[in-house]
Structure 1
Amino acid sequence: MSRYFLLLLALTGCASGLATSPRSPESGPTVTFLHFNDIYEITPVAGGASGGLARFATIRRELVASSSTVITTLGGDYLSPSAMGLAVVDGQRLAGRQMVATLNAVGVDWAVLGNHEFDLRESEFRQRLSESRFRIVASNVTDSAGNRFHGTVRNGIMRVPTRRGELRIGMIGLTINSNRPAWVRFEDPMVAARREIAEFGDSVDAIVALTHLTLAQDQLLAEALPAITVILGGHEHENHVVRRGPRFTPIIKADANVRTVAVVTLTWPSGGAAPLVQSNLRVLDSAIAESPDVGREVAEWVARSDAAYRAEGLEPGAAVATIDEPLDGREAVVRTRPGPLTALIAEALRREVPGADVGVMNGGSIRIDDVIPAGVVTQYDVIRILPFGGNVVETTMTGSLLDRVLTQGEANRGSGGYLHAAGAAREGTRWLVGGVPIDRARTYRVATTDFLLTGRETGLDWLKPGNPDLGPVQPHRDIRVAVIEMLRSR
């Protein structure tokens, strides 16, 4: 911590690191926030062309050297989904351990929880919190009993001494409730925000809302609570810089996987006026050198996870194919409509089973929640898309059962149980296979995933061995191997 400034958490009685550097006496009091959100990969993405936490660390250090006070904030979604996080090392899933260790090395100060943090098992989640050296502000999230998770705070006040006196900046954190395991309780974000802001009263010079909400929710927050100085958000994966509400409160989000980061400054003019908020997006590309120490941290985790996947017969760094169009694996797409990625996977299933009439897979098996850009696709990209793996399986279904499966899959639109099919299409109210209506009395050969035949998917509890309309189940290779070969064949 610099000898020029000190960060204290007044409401929690805890200390947290704050990066600082000297400033000229002519300039006014300024605090800089370096903000990023939705970080799933510790390494660069897009074939190494974009992002990377070692590059982010370089940006941070440069900013610290040129700015008075720098606070590094994370807008949620960092523990999951991650292919590396599902690697089994020393008998346990990494489950975000690699991410927390790297974020600690980077020097993150504050984070808010994202919806994907709750993909983890409760024990894994609590362990990651205990490993975190950064503070986590969770104004609307508790455990199921209403108690704060250890390592989180409802709010905080950052005290920043300046040559003109002490600045006090209030921090609140709000999380969307789209992922609700039984061990978590969510409060309405607006209700929680109102309470925390009221608790601050007149004791702060600015209020920062660190959020993982939809843009629409952030806009409502800005419109209803003009006391908020700036909203530093996440969740959308694409950058947004907009102003909403009676005071045109800035809402600022960066691109996922630190493709961009937001540099946000709060400057207090003389006379006690509200701070001026300015922001710019910094693109992280291969022109930015990697921080050596963070680079070593990243390399260590990559080596450990790669070894785990090699033990499963995969070679993460190997190039598979070059694609001409992006493969969109965002949840908002794969759980609501077909697209090039889901068509590719469903066809890979059908190709894996010779003579299969239909290939069927669920959108929820795609966990990347990101876009693979046009260009080289590696095996690690495929692992990111389908981190849980599992076997392709062959079975038979009567036309009656197949029709029922496809109809339920369509009814599951918006959830992980939304089904994608190769070889089948809907025409009005009926399903076609091979271009002709399903014959309910005929038997069809179907390629699908082992998970879909467990009866655990939404509305498909009857789709499991013992159903008289379902034939014997024969396993084939890992679904990721099938997809890799499909990509190579194109």
Structure 2
Amino acid sequence: MNEDPTLSLLIRKKVFSRLISYTEVNILLKVKNHDADRHCLTLNVQVSIMSSYNNGANDSDTSVQVTSAMPEEENTATIANYWYNLGFQGFKELGYEPDAIVSCLRIDVELDGRSISVRSSTTLSTAEICESMLKLTAYNQTTIAIINGGTVRIDDILRETITQYDIIRTLPFGNRVIALSVPGHLLAQVLTKGTSLKGNGIFIAYTRVETFDGGNTWLLNGTDISKSGLYYDVATTAYIRDFTQLNKSYVITLHNANVTQTKSLMQYLTIKYSPC
């Protein structure tokens, strides 16, 4: 098995220091995914060195970044590549070309899809998803779009060259875009409640509507939607409709698009940002 030089040096130093004093040393090495990220970008390595001389133990923790510079263990890589390739085959059967380039972002544009971000605020990433849904439902004259932060799963920041696989990683679920007609007072309630759920997957991200008082009042073109007496045409997903207050009988489904959020975002980014 290939060794990480930093980790190996740490172990050797601790073992050597114990060998000076004791005749027998047992080493316990634990590696686990760090709580700080969801895709094993960081490993928390715990080293326990136990002596049979006095039944004592010495523990040490260190974090190791997983990068392309870290050598692969051959058997593990073979298994990982098998499932990776199988996944790509499945994407192609669904009509995707994972390696195809969608667009190239400007150097000053970053699509923040980190869980800590998309579950607590509307980022450029979630705003662009909303805008793509508005474009898709333009025929229905939608003026507001909302999604839940938990629909974004990439837990990373996209920069520069964007491939279809990047978008699949961002929106892996088959959530289909729909258009609803929603009374303003109810839409305001959904926005207020949804934006209060920071850290939750049902946290609501939005576009085109504004709040300047922490989510108590929602304005569209300067008008308080809760007091307008109007219905608003909203682009969202069936998931949002079914699992929020939008499941009321008086909310009208205008259109069920046969297009997923994933493909909607791909189409939108291709248009908005120049190809490479």
Q: Summarize the Cα distance change of 1:233–1:445 in structure 2 as closer, same or farther, 3 Å threshold.
A: closer
Matched with 2:120 is 336
1:371 aligned residue (156, 164, 167): 156
SS of residue matched to 1:463: helix
1:313 maps to what in 2? 95
Amino acid at match of 2:241: L
Please give the residue correspondences for 1:249-268 in structure 2 after superposition, counting only pairs within 5 Å.
257-259=39-41, 261=43
Q: CA deviation at 1:347?
A: 1.4
Deviation at 1:410, TM superposition (A): 2.4
Cα distance, 1:432 vs structure 2 = 0.8
Query: What amino acid maps onto 1:421 in structure 2?
Result: Y
Report the Cα offset of residue 303 of structure 1.
Answer: 2.2
> Match for 2:111: what amino acid?
L
In the alignment, residue 127 of structure 2 is paired with which amino acid?
A: A
Counterpart residue number, 2:26: 167
C-alpha distance in structure 2 between counterparts of 1:168 and 1:62, whole Å: 17
Question: Per the alignment, do residues 320 and 433 of structure 1 end up closer, same or farther by CA in structure 2, a change over 3 Å counting?
Answer: same
The 5 A counterparts of 1:260-299 are: 261=43, 275=58, 277=60, 279=62, 281=64, 284-285=67-68, 287-288=69-70, 290-299=72-81
Tell me the C-alpha RMSD between the 2 structures. 3.7
Which stretches in structure 2 are left out of the alignment for 5+ residues?
13-21
Matching of residue 380 in structure 1 with residue 155 in structure 2: no
Counterpart of 1:437?
224
Would the alpha carbon gap of residues 367 and 420 (structure 1) be closer, same or farther in structure 2, given more than 3 Å must change?
same
| Superimposed CA distance per residue, residues 245-277 of structure 1 (whole angstroms, 9 cap, x where no aligned partner) | xxxxxxxxxxx64545566656679x8676474
Count of residues in Structure 1 that have an aligned counterpart in Structure 2: 255
Which whole-Å CA distance do the structure 2 matches of 1:394 and 1:472 have between them?
6
1:446 to 234, 247, 261: 234
What is the Cα deviation at residue 450 of structure 1?
Answer: 1.4
- Aligned AA (1:463): L
- DSSP-derived class of the 1:327 partner: strand
Which residue of 2 is the match for residue 475 of structure 1? 256
Do the aligned partners of 1:398 and 1:440 also contact (CA within 8 Å) in 2?
A: no
Distance 2:261 2:149 in 1: 14
Q: Aligned partners of 2:65 and 2:230: how far apart in 1?
A: 59
| Structure 1 counterpart of 2:246, from 451, 463, 478 | 463
Counterpart mapping for 1:13-412 below 5 A: 58-59=2-3, 164-165=23-24, 167=26, 234-237=34-37, 257-259=39-41, 261=43, 275=58, 277=60, 279=62, 281=64, 284-285=67-68, 287-288=69-70, 290-323=72-105, 324=107, 325-354=109-138, 355-368=141-154, 370-412=155-197
When normalised by structure 1's length, the TM-score is 0.45
Q: Contact 1:261–1:284 at 8 Å: present in 2 too?
A: no
Can you list the C-alpha shifts for 1:308-355, whole angstroms capped at 9, x where unaligned? 222222222222222334333233222222211111111111121112
Maintained 8 Å contact 2:114/2:157:
no
Change (3 A) 1:449 1:275: same
1:453–1:313 Cα change, 3 Å: same
For residues 200 and 44 of structure 2, the distance between their equivalents in structure 1, rounded to whole angstroms, comes to 31
CA contact (8 A) 1:326 1:371 kept: no
Instruction: For residue 210 of structure 2, give the secondary structure of its aligned residue in structure 1.
Output: strand
How far off is 1:398 after superposition? 2.0
- Aligned equivalents of 2:184, 2:61: Cα separation in 1: 61
Structure with more of its chain in helix, by fraction: 2
Runs of 4+ in 1 over 6 A off after TM superposition: 61-64
d(CA) in 2 for partners of 1:401, 1:236: 36
Deviation string 1:176-226 (CA, Å, 9 cap, x unpaired) is xxxxxxxxxxxxxxxxxxxxxxxxxxxxxxxx8x8xxxxxxxxxxxxxxxx
- Pairwise CA distance, 1:422: 0.9
Structure 1 alignment gaps of length 5 or more: 1-56, 69-162, 172-207, 211-231, 238-255
Percent identity, aligned pairs only?
24
The amino acid that maps onto 1:419 is I
Q: Partner letter of residue 434 of structure 1?
A: N
Quote how far apart the aligned CAs of 1:394 are. 1.1
- Cross-structure match for 1:17: none
TM-score, length basis structure 2:
0.76
1:374 deviates by 2.0
Partner letter of residue 224 of structure 2?
P
Aligned to 1:424: 209
